[in-house]
Amino acid sequence: MDAKGLVKMAIEKLGWAGEREIQRFLDEYGEELAKDELKRALSALVAAGEVEQKGELYRLARKSGGREAFDRLFGE
């Protein structure tokens, strides 16, 4: 699994988590990432819209497909 996949898995398990908690989870899981590699993975996931950032905390982005489909169907 690549760095983004590992970080996404950690966030999925932890919910809202900061870099330190994500790093600790990955260390306990047996995968080590350098701090700069973790930051690059988090930045890429946020830019792709897969992860939300609020301050220093991260979580998986909420799925909005249902709302978008409703809006397209009824023209809003």
Domains recognised in the chain with CATH numbers = 3-74 (1.10.10.10)
Q: Kindly report each contact of residues 52-61 with a partner whose C-beta sits within 8 Å and lies 24 or more positions away, as own/partner.
A: 54/16, 56/18, 56/19, 57/16, 57/17, 57/18, 58/11, 58/16, 58/17, 58/18, 58/22, 59/11, 59/15, 59/16, 59/17, 60/8, 60/11, 60/12
Query: Is pLDDT above 60 for 76?
Result: no
Between 71 and 27, whose confidence is greater?
27
Q: What pTM does this model have?
A: 0.78
d(CA 44, CA 37): 11
**CA nearest to 20, candidates 2, 33, 3, 5:** 33
pLDDT tens digit sequence for 11-44 = 999 999 999 999 999 999 999 889 999 999 999 9
pLDDT at 62: 80
Three-class SS state of 48: coil
pLDDT at 10: 95
Query: Is pLDDT above 80 for 64?
Result: no
